[in-house]
Amino acid sequence: MINRWIWTSDEVKNAPSIRAGMSQKEETRLRREGCKIVVEVGSTLRLKANPTMATASTYFHRFYMYHTFSDFPRELTALGCLFLAGKVEETPKKCRDICNSAVQRFPDIFNSYASLTDEVMGIERVLLQTLKFDLQVDLPYEALLEYGKIFPGVSKEQMSETIQIAWTFINDSYYTTLCITVEAQLIAIALLHLAFTVKEVKLGAVENTWWEQDVSNWSNEAVDRTCHMVLDFYTATKENPIFAEPAAVVPNK
C-alpha cells in the first residue's frame, strides 16, 4: 500500500503556502519555527525528545501539505500538534500547561492571543480532520536501535556513540521535511550511515551499503540526498539560527 503521508520532493516544493504565493525560503522558515516551538515548549514540559515531539512535528509537516501558513499560523498549529501528540503518545499534558509554557517561552508570539486554550482546542479539531485520525506515526528511533545491533565488527563503545549521534540527527531532522518525504526506516538507515561517516567508523566485514539486505533498490544517491537534507539544515541554521529574525525570540526569564 502506498503511504499516503509521504510526498515527493516536488510536491513539497509545491506545498499549499507556496502555491498561494509564499516564497520557498519563507515556507521553510515557518516550518522550522513551528518545529522549534514544538521542541521548546515540549522541553519545558519535560517531554523527552521522542516520541511525542517527533510525532508532533510530523503532524505539523503533514498539516501544511494541506493548509497554508496564512490560514493557520504556525504557532497555533505547533501547540495543537504538541497537545494532540501528547495524548496519542500517552504523555498527555494539560492544554492550559502547554499554553502557559508557550506564553512564557515565546511571549511576543503568544501574548497577542486572548484565549489561547480555546484556539488550541479549535486547532485540534482541524488537525484531526486533516490527519484523518491517522495518528500513529512511524518513527525512526526503534529501527535505529535495531540496526545498531547488526555490526559485530564495531566496538560496543563506538557503536553507542554512533547511535547517540544518529539519534541527534534524527531529532534535528524533524526541523526539515524529511519525515514527510522519506519512510521512517529509511531515515534511520540514512542517518546511521551519516553518523558512521561523521565518526569515520570502520564497519569491518560488513558492506558499506549494509542496508541493501533490507532495502534492495534504494540508490546511494537517495541515501546521500537524505543525509544532505539534515546537513543542509545544519548549514542553514548556523548562518541563520531559527527565530534569529528580530522580535521573534525573547530569552527565557
Partner 1 sequence: MSPTFVVTVVAGGDKLGKSLERRFLWRTMPAPLQDVTKRRSNVSSTSHYEQKPKSQLSDYIISEELGKGAYGVVYQVKEIKTNKEYALKQINVSVNEEGIPQSVLRELSVMKSLTSLRHPNVLGLVNVFHTLLGKKEGMKINMIVEKCDWDLHLFLKGIPRNCPEKQCRHIARQIFIGLDFLHEHNIIHRDLKPQNILINRNQEIKIADFGLSRMYSNTSAFTSVAVTLWYRAPELLLLTEYGSSSDIWSAGCIISEVYHREPLFAGDSEAGQLWDILGKQGVPEESKWPHDAIVKREAFISERTAYPRDIQTLNPSLSPEAAAVVRECVKFSADSRPTAQRALKMPYFKSPRESAESPVPPPSNFSAMRCESSTPRTANVRKIHKIKPKMTHSNRRSENMISQLPNEIEQMKIEPDNDFTPFF
Tell whether the torsion through CA atoms of 40, 241, 22 and 62 is positive or negative: negative
CB of 182 to partner 1, least distance (A): 10
| Residues contacting partner 1: total by CB under 8 A | 54
Span 84-123, contacts to partner 1 by CB under 8 A: 84, 87-90, 92, 94-96, 117, 121
Q: Does 177 bind partner 1 (CB under 8 A)?
A: no
Of 67, 60, 211, nearest in space to 137 by CA: 60
Within 1-115, residue ranges assigned H as helices are 9-13, 16-19, 24-44, 54-63, 74-88, 95-105, 107-110
Tell whether the torsion through CA atoms of 101, 106, 111 and 115 is positive or negative: negative
Tell me which amino acid residue 64 is. Y
Q: Does 48 bind partner 1 (CB under 8 A)?
A: no
User: What grid cell was written down for 2?
Assistant: 502506498
- C-alpha 35/C-alpha 54 separation (Å) is 9
CB of 235 to partner 1, least distance (A): 26
In the stretch 60-89, what mask flags binding to partner 1 with x, by CB under 8 A? -----xx----------------xx--xxx
Interface residues toward partner 1, by CB under 8 A: 1-4, 6-8, 10-11, 14-16, 51, 65-66, 83-84, 87-90, 92, 94-96, 117, 121, 124-125, 128-130, 132-136, 138-139, 141-143, 146, 183-186, 214-219, 222
